Structure 1
Amino acid sequence: MMMSRKIAAGSAAIVGALIATASAHADEPRMLKELSPDGGGACFSRVYDASHLKAHPHQKVARIFFYHGPDPVSRPSEDPTDGLGTAGYNGFMATTVRGASKPEWVGGWCNVSGETGEKAAIHCGMECDRTMAELSLDAKGRLKVDAFDRDIYLDIGAEDELGTAEYERQALGTDDNGFLLERRPAADCKAEFARIAPANPALGDPLRIRLKPDQPFCFGRDYSAEHLASHPEQVTQTIRVFRGAAQVASFAAQGKAGDWPNGADLVVAMTTRKGDAKATQTYSCQGEADQWRCVAIVATGVASCDLSEKEIYLRRGANGTMMLANPKESLPLTDLCQAGGDTKSDDKVFRLEAMPQSACSQ
């Protein structure tokens, strides 16, 4: 189950959060001298006071920030291309509506579409040929934001899909356009975008930093009888996720350290409360956004079904733990060729602790 990055901010349950991915590809943002004469990040913003909002009842936006420069939202990720921009985006808009606790945001590509110079027209586009905004600078250097659609944070065709009432509730107001923003220090925009998804210091470095390509690791959990009694739908009794000497040697022979964790193999071993023998499965991983997407593989020459959709996801947890998500039947609880559909038990998300390598010996 894969979901492409939705630029609008939102919340999700823990499984969805572990699965959601962010596309970060390696195009440096193109800086426009009209917005950034010195080539650095450019910030424009406006925060509306209560009297303005009272006089404009059809305006939902209470705070609006535009940033021109490298991605101000993404955190250090598992993707080896992290830090090189978000698909070449060089324009980012964050708005907070009345009563909201944090902004929603969009990103896109901004380019001069008219005559160059201080008053040049700048078009900012998004995926699917959508317009993020039309920008221009006035004589005082303020940024005029036009063509800012009411459904900029909604999917295409949302009005028909949601119906009139729900669309009006989710869309921006009829007066949410024609904003005039003052130039501000770049730090102001970075602080505003940081409100979208505040960094959690307890998470520490991403897995690709914590786990080294030339070193084995072992994470796992042994569930107590008390825990299993309180989770009657959980089948898993013990679980291990590890790279041993064989997996380290395989990456040394075939992988590239600069691409880590892409191409890293790992093993999942489990026992169940049913008393079955230990089951193991090997997976091949790729870094995607802030997680590892690991696809089940089989030994060469072994007859099997197509395991390309049998996936698990790994993400760093708080205080040195590792989170494993099993959104579908992708763990060796049963024969992966026989299982199908979503996991219907409590065996969906595991918080795993670091263990000595001896605990993961095969």
Structure 2
Amino acid sequence: MVTSRKIATASAGIVGALFLAGTVYADEPRILKELSPDGGSACFGRVYDASHLKAHPHQKVARIFFYHGRDPVSRPSEDPYDGVGSAGYNGFMATTARGAPKPEWVGGWCNASGEGGDKSSIHCGMECDRTMAELSLDAAGRLKVDAFDRDIYLDIGAEDELGKVEYERQALGTDDNGFLLERRPVADCKAEFARIDPVNPALGDPLRVRLKPDQPFCFGRDYSAEHLASHPDQLTQTIRVFRSKTELASFAAKGTISDWPNGADLVVTMISRKGAAKATQTYSCQGEADQWRCAAIAAPDGTSCDLSEKEIYLRRGANGTMMLANPKDSLPLTDLCQANGQTKSDDRVFRLEAMPQSACAR
């Protein structure tokens, strides 16, 4: 699916899901008067009953909702631009197939596309010059959804790549087009999109709220012999992530409180189970959706090299923990200027506990 952005929470030693990077931020979404005369958000939807689905065996979509407005899916809680995300999309479609536990969704840019004075037709495009849908309103104010491709949730060229049988299983049905949706309260769409990725109350406040720009912090973990015995490919024995007086002074000199956590420096220290000396690396962070994206800013040995791709990602964990992800070989286990590609060890995702500042001495 082209719109998946979330990760699964995991501890060190689980190599399944990595933190995502590259989120794009943009201006306020464009509001179309054709869909929302009052300039606010607009919602259209339809839930098909059993009799309709029985009469249309080639229709897989059991529920369909279209939302026009700000992103109803992402919760960009770590950046200072609250509510902005999804590259300025102003149209979002969520469909739930028969028997599916939750919706799939796509987002894109919608603009009136009628010729001359006819503005009744609205084209919604997606990334890679793809079409999300062609929209129009009928005389009763219902939204007609056309040009809704069967492979809208699949990658370009999926039919050739997957083969006919698998493509038919994953694609929408041959009768999944020409939907007619009723105008509904905005709350209905928000509730529908909330089914995609429900909020986990155990996560609590985002890191930018938990961690103050003028206060130090220390998170870490010391792995037991039992844990290391059960994770033979994990090199990390001790890990710390912290901000001390040095990092606080750096932010005070160059940072802006309103942009927190953008520009915040932090330090990662690690001790390998192989008995090497403590390794230390400083990172500079930016808030990105619901994570901090932190790039290495200085090689520990003073060697000059391009560190722009040597990144780690921080995200709030359940019950006050912090998740640290190392999708590439960018933790200070080796010389960052020598490390390339995916890490070959089992040191990708760590669940860290809050510790006293004294535990994070350099």
The alignment's TM-score, normalised by the length of structure 2, stands at 0.92
Using the alignment, how far apart are the partners of 1:285 and 1:233 within structure 2? 28
Q: Aligned residue for 2:45?
A: 45
Tell whether the 8 Å contact from 1:24 to 1:82 is kept in structure 2 after alignment: no
Using the alignment, how far apart are the partners of 2:117 and 2:35 within structure 1? 10
**Matches of residues 230-241 of structure 1 in structure 2 within 5 Å?**
230-241=230-241
Could you give the per-residue CA deviations for residues 158-194 of structure 1, whole angstroms, max 9, x where no partner exists? Answer: 2222222222111111110000111111111100000
**Cα RMSD after superposing both structures:** 2.3
Tell whether the 8 Å contact from 2:21 to 2:293 is kept in structure 1 after alignment: no
Q: Match of 1:67, SS? A: strand
Change (3 A) 1:55 1:13: farther
Q: Aligned residue for 1:254?
A: 254
CA apart distance, 1:349: 1.1
Q: Aligned residue for 1:75?
A: 75
Could you give the per-residue CA deviations for residues 56-113 of structure 1, whole angstroms, max 9, x where no partner exists? Answer: 1111101000111111111142222231353221111100011110000111111211
Using the alignment, how far apart are the partners of 2:278 and 2:301 within structure 1? 23
Change (3 A) 1:178 1:66: same
Aligned residues: 358
Q: Which amino acid aligns with 1:291?
A: Q
Q: Aligned residue for 1:277?
A: 277
Q: Aligned residue for 1:203?
A: 203
Q: Match of 1:19, SS? A: coil
Change (3 A) 1:335 1:282: same
**Matches of residues 10-25 of structure 1 in structure 2 within 5 Å?**
14=10, 17-21=17-21, 23-25=23-25
1:92 aligns with 2:88: no
Tell whether the 8 Å contact from 1:21 to 1:290 is kept in structure 2 after alignment: no
Tell whether the 8 Å contact from 1:18 to 1:314 is kept in structure 2 after alignment: no
Q: Which amino acid aligns with 2:195?
A: R
Could you give the per-residue CA deviations for residues 328-360 of structure 1, whole angstroms, max 9, x where no partner exists? Answer: 221112222333332223221110001111111
Could you list the runs of 5+ residues in structure 2 that have no partner in the other structure? none
Q: Aligned residue for 2:62?
A: 62
Using the alignment, how far apart are the partners of 1:125 and 1:117 within structure 2? 21
Using the alignment, how far apart are the partners of 1:355 and 1:251 within structure 2? 22
Q: Match of 1:181, SS? A: strand
Tell whether the 8 Å contact from 1:18 to 1:291 is kept in structure 2 after alignment: no
Using the alignment, how far apart are the partners of 1:10 and 1:156 within structure 2? 21
Tell whether the 8 Å contact from 2:31 to 2:69 is kept in structure 1 after alignment: yes
**Matches of residues 344-359 of structure 1 in structure 2 within 5 Å?**
344-359=344-359
Q: Which amino acid aligns with 2:3?
A: I
**Matches of residues 102-141 of structure 1 in structure 2 within 5 Å?**
102-114=102-114, 120-141=120-141
Using the alignment, how far apart are the partners of 2:252 and 2:5 within structure 1? 39
Change (3 A) 1:48 1:116: farther
**Matches of residues 277-316 of structure 1 in structure 2 within 5 Å?**
277-298=277-298, 302-316=302-316
Could you give the per-residue CA deviations for residues 115-140 of structure 1, whole angstroms, max 9, x where no partner exists? Answer: 79998111111122211111111111
Q: Which amino acid aligns with 1:7?
A: T
Tell whether the 8 Å contact from 2:25 to 2:88 is kept in structure 1 after alignment: yes
Stretch deviating more after TM superposition (66-75 or 11-20): 11-20
CA apart distance, 1:325: 0.9
1:7 aligns with 2:33: no
Change (3 A) 1:10 1:116: farther
Q: Aligned residue for 2:336?
A: 336
Q: Which amino acid aligns with 2:192?
A: E
The alignment's TM-score, normalised by the length of structure 1, stands at 0.92
CA apart distance, 1:22: 6.3
Using the alignment, how far apart are the partners of 1:59 and 1:249 within structure 2? 60
Tell whether the 8 Å contact from 2:2 to 2:155 is kept in structure 1 after alignment: no
Q: Aligned residue for 2:229?
A: 229
Change (3 A) 1:288 1:6: farther
Q: Match of 1:87, SS? A: helix
